[in-house]
Amino acid sequence: MIPLQEFTKTPKVLILGNGLSAFETAWQLISLGYGVVLINPESRIIEETPFLSLGGWSVQDYLKDQRESLEKNPNFIQYTQTTLSAIEGFAGEFSAHLKSEQKDWTETVGAVVFAPELVSETQFADSHLKPNAQIITLEALTEIFSSLSQSIPFREEGVFVAFTPHSYIAFLSGLDAEGNVADMALTLSLALKIRKEYQSQVVIFCRQVKVAEEGMERLYQACRDEGVIFFKFDQAGPEIIRSNDLVTLQFVDAILEQPFELNPDLLVMDSVHSLPKEIRELALSAQIGMDESGFLQPANVHLLPQASMRTGIFIAGSGKGPMLPQTCIEEARAAALSIHHFFEGRSAEEMNREVVVDEGLCTICLTCVRYCPHQAIGWTHRIFIHPFACRRCGICAGECPMDAIQISGYSDHEVEKKLTALQERRQQVEFIQPRIVIFGCQRSAGVVWEEVQSSKFKVQMEVEFISMPCAGKMDPDYLLKALALGVSGVLVFACPEENCKSIHGNTYARERITEAKRYIEEAGLNPDRIRFEHLSSNMVWYLREVVEQFLGELKEKKAH
Amino acid sequence: MNSKNSKVLILGGGIAGITAALALSRLNISVNLIEKSSALGGMVRYFCCKATESCQQCGACLLNDSLQALAKEPIVGVHLKTEVTNIKMDAKEFLYYFSGPEGAGEGRAAALLLATGFNPFRAEDKPQYRYGTLPNVLTGLDLEKQLRETGSIRRPSNHILPKSIAFIQCVGSRDLHLNHTFCSQVCCGYALRMANLIKYRNPQTEITIFYMDIQTFGKDFSLFMEQTRKQIRFIRAIPGEIQNGENDQVLLTFQNDDGMPSQKKAFDLAVLSVGIMPGLDHLFLSNRLGLSLNPDGFLSTGQGRLIPPEGIFLAGTVQGPKSIARSVAQAYRATEEVIAYLKLRSVS
């Protein structure tokens, strides 16, 4: 065993980002007593979505105040034009390799927060739609407004031509993607401002009006009251034709069923948002996980709110996808709490007792290192399971070809004892019906089983439940042992796909069980005596249905 | 009279209250959690798992996980069937009086976390949909309960599987006639996920969604919509009324946007996607604690959204419509604010 004092938690947090989420996380962590190193890939601060009229507060002012007080705080260090090239080590004592133009160096930090801002690319895919004075992005228009402290002065040039009562401004929103509430908030607040202050004719084309945030429906209604015109299109959006200095939008009005043309003086288009390339690459190399759309945090509800796949690395803000400033603040505060939990969590001593590697059996084949979803296993001249990073799912124990890893409460010895106890009980009572053993994840099937047992419709006597920390702990040996002890059938319950608390435990379990069934068939036994099912913690009816059906099948087989 | 003191008092034992209680107890901060009803779990305990071939990310399973964890927490005092009868500030603390199964009592707490949740929209308040009169008109919540208990949907009139189902979105939400100028944020998510689930279990069921705008929810939303559009029909129209059709079918009248005059279409079952409305305790709490209500009638800390007033924190749908995921994030946020507040208090 490695002496526990070798594992430490450095109470310092590295934050990646340069906007509201990053600074808010920093601010909260400082107030909770942690040191913060904030690295900003750029030299400037990204101020998100200015003058949003949703909460009656100014993001810019808030961010400015926060930055000023942070910069005075001795526990806060900021490096601009600096990037993180790699993260090594484990939760509590990561080595973060930093890089600026001048130097490369390493910081030891206890935790890392990814709080990046998104990059926006224009949708001017067709070359004839290059931005100019008549076509502009939503971001560019926002910037024009936010850089002016007062109203836009009347000028007979560029985009300013459109800010007169008889000119037309058209917004195209959600043309390529589904659209999102953050862009809609910008679109609506700009539209309302333009309508109120310059009386231009404003038309918004969109697939869906995205209003699923507080205050958004009111903003939408305010736009309508102010005379902003909305055109909703279904599949194909309006056609954009450009000739000389004229932009033409051709569309069919869905209600009047008539083709229309509009020649806006200014066309405002929203952008496609994505993670900055360096953050995406870092997320891949650090194995913290992403969703299928390329945003941070895999689509798995058990990581909510701010966890990544890797213990000690957290996600806050727009890196998850476009969001409003108030949501960024919520994210940042939730992240600060998650980090506080990590630092103030249970002691190393407690944790180390729970997972044991038998060095006599271990051949350092590194199977466990490859399979651990949380990057919790390392090796020197021996394997060690990092006490802070480990989430005790037992996938390593399930995969270990030497059975060298044991989790207390779920060790091979303890599982065997439970199986033997069933055998002994069987000798005492003569059962007429076939018996089933269920192996299930304690956090889904285990919860359902408890509910079933405490309800008045108990599952029949001949069913026994053996709990696993995660289905990924399931060892095919248990199936064989159960069958050898005379059990008629074995059921294995794992969480639904993409709902595993250990990310891949359910998939590994399925693969192992499928393989075990093949062995069993080769050995001349009926593979249908083993069944694998997905079950979540609130599907009581399904457990009952599967058990009843399985019992029925087994009985029928026995009868023949 | 019994007395209960703790660092934090949480009102409401739904997903937000439970999440906050767990988050505080992990940091060894004592909590009393008071819940009016006889069980923890709030509205989420009625919600079904919506997993098809894979999880649809509704988050309903998070409750069971949290309940299991909460049962093991010794420093959370859970008080069911208990109501707070009065609450006030006294010597920089909250002094509250309650009555529960063991009689009346009082307690003190340094911080107060309100997680009293929401009320589902009463479908009877849209009489044109004849909920409660026509047997085959259900609400989204009815559907959740049925799916949770039995895993399938049957027509109340004859207990057989419906061949066609219509979901009507925005029932009670985004409704200027009712003066509800807000989106309930969760109905698109639950309706589309349940539609996919029903389709997965009974592929022959035809499902139509009547809607104004589909709101973005969850991760990978574009991919989700791409899949959903392949098997669910979308009609951009909110039906004006539901009538009784032949064989207990429901007859929907709607004005499609294809330029035709109003149409009628019959379905085996209609589901009203009812939204999130302010909870029943809002007036009591705002009166006693001097909290303001936002224009939608939900509780607000009144100081903008950044600095909560001294010692009072809000989590979950008490402050407006929220999904399960957002309620959990909110509960974390509120807990973090509680900790920062307690820390500041102990210094001063």
pLDDT at A244 over 60: yes
pLDDT at B238 over 90: yes
The structural domain count of chain A equals 4
**Highest-confidence range of A114-128, A340-354, A473-487, B38-52, by mean pLDDT?**
B38-52
Which residues in chain B are closer than 8 Å to A499, comparing Cβ atoms?
51, 54-55, 61
Using CB atoms and an 8 Å cut-off, which of residues 45-84 of chain A contact chain B?
55-57, 62
Q: Which of B214, B216, B307, B342 to mutate to test the interface with A (most CBs of A within 10 A)?
A: B216
Together in a domain, A126 and A111: no
| Contact check, Cβ <8 Å, A499/B61 | yes
| Contact check, Cβ <8 Å, B61/A444 | yes
| Contact check, Cβ <8 Å, A28/B236 | no
Together in a domain, A162 and A179: yes
Which residues in chain A are closer than 8 Å to B54, comparing Cβ atoms?
496-499
Q: In what order do the strands lie in the sheet with A12-16?
A: A76-80, A35-40, A12-16, A111-114, A313-315
Please report the pLDDT score of residue B304 as a whole number: 47
Q: Is residue A402 part of a domain?
A: yes
User: What percentage of residues in chain B have a pLDDT greater than 70?
Assistant: 95
pLDDT single digits (tens) B126-173 = 999 999 999 999 999 999 999 999 999 999 999 999 999 999 999 999
pLDDT at A148 over 60: no
Please report the pLDDT score of residue A174 as a whole number: 80
pLDDT at A332 over 60: yes
CA distances from A202 to A54, A136, A193, A207, A263 (A): 20, 15, 10, 17, 12
Give the chain B residue whose CA is nearest to the CA of A306: B329
Together in a domain, A157 and A268: yes
pLDDT at A160 over 90: no
Query: CA-to-CA distance for A243 and A523, rounded, in angstroms?
Result: 76
Q: Which position has the higher pLDDT, A53 or A123?
A: A123
| Contact check, Cβ <8 Å, B217/A498 | no
- The beta strand positions in chain B, using DSSP E, are 2-11, 31-34, 76-79, 83-90, 93-100, 103-114, 118-120, 137-139, 164-171, 206-211, 233-236, 241-244, 250-254, 263-267, 269-274, 276-278, 292-293, 299-300, 312-314
Of A75-79, A308-312, A315-319, A485-489, the range with the lowest mean pLDDT is A485-489
Together in a domain, A417 and A537: yes
* Closest to A125 (Cα-Cα) out of A176, A196, A201, A160: A176
pLDDT single digits (tens) B98-114 = 999 989 999 999 999 99
Which residues in chain A are closer than 8 Å to B182, comparing Cβ atoms?
214, 217-218
| Contact check, Cβ <8 Å, B27/A341 | yes
Together in a domain, A192 and A226: yes
Domain boundary (A368, A384, A407) is at A407
Domain boundary (A291, A310, A344) is at A344
Q: Is residue A161 part of a domain?
A: yes
Q: Which of A212, A292, A340 sits opposite B339 (nearest CB)?
A: A340
Q: Is residue A102 part of a domain?
A: yes
Range of the domain at A362: 354-407
Q: Are A327 and A335 in contact (CB under 8 A)?
A: no
Together in a domain, A263 and A319: no
What's A241's domain CATH number?
3.50.50.60
Give the chain B residue whose CA is nearest to the CA of A344: B27
Which residues in chain B are closer than 8 Å to A255, comparing Cβ atoms?
257, 259
> Is the minimum CB–CB distance between A292 and chain B shorter than 8 Å?
yes
Which residues in chain B are closer than 8 Å to A177, comparing Cβ atoms?
222
Please report the pLDDT score of residue A346 as a whole number: 60
Of A164-168, A317-321, A502-506, B36-40, the range with the lowest mean pLDDT is A164-168
pLDDT at A317 over 60: yes
* Domains present along chain B, CATH in parentheses: 2-117+279-347 (3.50.50.60), 121-276 (3.50.50.60)
Q: Which of A62, A178, A336 sits opposite B221 (nearest CB)?
A: A178
Which residues in chain A are closer than 8 Å to B332, comparing Cβ atoms?
305-306, 333-334, 337-338
Together in a domain, A240 and A137: yes
Please report the pLDDT score of residue A156 as a whole number: 47
Together in a domain, A166 and A48: no
Tell me, what's the ipTM? 0.95
Q: How far is A401 from chain B (nearest CA, A)?
A: 29
Q: Are A214 and B320 in contact (CB under 8 A)?
A: yes
Phi, psi of A505 (to 5 degrees): -55, -40
> Is the minimum CB–CB distance between A252 and chain B shorter than 8 Å?
no
CA atoms within 13 A on the CB side of B194: 32
Together in a domain, A247 and A295: no
Q: How far is A14 from chain B (nearest CA, A)?
A: 19
Q: Which residues of B101-114 are buried (b: 16+ CB within 10 A; e: fewer)?
A: eeeebebbbbbbbb
Q: Which of B59, B151, B223 sits opposite A301 (nearest CB)?
A: B59
Q: Which of B53, B214, B328 sits opposite A208 (nearest CB)?
A: B214
CA distances from B196 to B163, B208, B229 (A): 15, 11, 10
Q: Is residue A457 part of a domain?
A: yes
Together in a domain, A90 and A195: no
Q: Is residue A349 part of a domain?
A: no
pLDDT at A1 over 70: no
Name the band, by pLDDT with cuts 50, 70 and 90, for residue B305: very low
* Closest to A388 (Cα-Cα) out of A30, A96, A2: A2
Please report the pLDDT score of residue B292 as a whole number: 85
Query: CA-to-CA distance for B144 and B154, rounded, in angstroms?
Result: 12
Q: Which of B61, B257, B296 sits opposite A536 (nearest CB)?
A: B61
Return the structure tokens found at B66: 């949290």
Give the chain A residue whose CA is nearest to the CA of B28: A344
Together in a domain, A112 and A129: no
Q: How far is A330 from chain B (nearest CA, A)?
A: 6
| Contact check, Cβ <8 Å, B325/A178 | no
Query: CA-to-CA distance for A336 and A528, rounded, in angstroms?
Result: 49
Which residues in chain A are closer than 8 Å to B62, comparing Cβ atoms?
301-302, 304
Domain boundary (A324, A344, A364) is at A344
| Contact check, Cβ <8 Å, B55/A300 | yes
pLDDT mean over B324-335: 96
| Contact check, Cβ <8 Å, A341/B23 | yes
**Non-local CB neighbours of B33 within 8 Å, separated by 6+ positions:** B10, B13, B17, B18, B21, B76, B77, B78, B79
Q: Is residue A208 part of a domain?
A: yes
Q: Is residue A215 part of a domain?
A: yes
Please report the pLDDT score of residue B22 as a whole number: 95
- Helices marked H in A124-206 — which ranges? 138-147, 181-198
* Closest to B136 (Cα-Cα) out of B20, B254, B271, B260: B271
Pairs across A and B, CB distance < 8 A: 199
Together in a domain, A18 and A28: yes
Name the band, by pLDDT with cuts 50, 70 and 90, for residue A188: very high
Give Cα A522 distance to the centre of its chain. 41
Q: Is residue A249 part of a domain?
A: yes
